[in-house]
Amino acid sequence: MATVAFDTHDHASCISTALSRAEAHCDQNGLKLTPARRRVLEILLHEHRAVGAYDILEVLRQDGLAAQPPVAYRALDFLVKHGFAHKIERLSAFVACAHPGEKHVPAFLICETCDHVAEATVEVAPKSLCDTAKAIGFEINRTVLEATGLCAKCAPAKS
């Protein structure tokens, strides 16, 4: 279950399961999965891919919902803050978390051609990084790993 993005799978149930789990987690922790937040999560889940904030706005607009930038950014902030999504810094885009609820160092395999994103699990930050941090008195809060390259679909097309 390390990754889902490049596999074939039952995507409809993959989405509904993730939504249910998010709802449950919010209920249990006094968080509000408002319609806007829920819809943005749904959009992210629909693609297993990095989606830009303005792409999300485009979808919301088609739904007839409010679609000014802060709408998307506020929902995304909520989702990222509570672990339902991650920001892919290299793409200035967002992706639904593949391991919500589990403590993990997010690690992404980002296809340079099609922007598909696979999320791998890395249990802890590499030792050499932690050693350096300790040596200089740096206190790590959050670690992200981003690898770029070519996915199985796109690699052949490049050769």
Do residues 133 and 94 make contact, with C-beta atoms less than 8 angstroms apart? no
Largest distance between two CA atoms of the chain:
53
Selected from 25, 46, 82, 90, the binder of a copy of itself by CB under 8 A is 90
Interface pattern 104-133 for a copy of itself (x via CB under 8 A): ---x-x-xx-----x-xxxx-xx-xx-xxx
Q: How many whole angstroms separate alpha carbon 21 and alpha carbon 25?
A: 6
53 part of the interface to DNA, by CB under 7 A = yes
Tokens 């409010």 correspond to 66
109 part of the interface to DNA, by CB under 7 A = no
Do residues 51 and 42 make contact, with C-beta atoms less than 8 angstroms apart? no
142 part of the interface to DNA, by CB under 7 A = no
74 part of the interface to DNA, by CB under 7 A = yes
* AA letter at 77: D
152 part of the interface to a copy of itself, by CB under 8 A = yes
Tokens 């408002």 correspond to 34
Q: With respect to Zn ion, which residue has the nearer C-beta, 87 or 116?
A: 116
24 part of the interface to a copy of itself, by CB under 8 A = no
Which tokens is 153 given? 């679909």
Binding residues for DNA (CB under 7 A): 31-32, 34-37, 52-54, 65-71, 73-75, 77-78, 87, 92-93
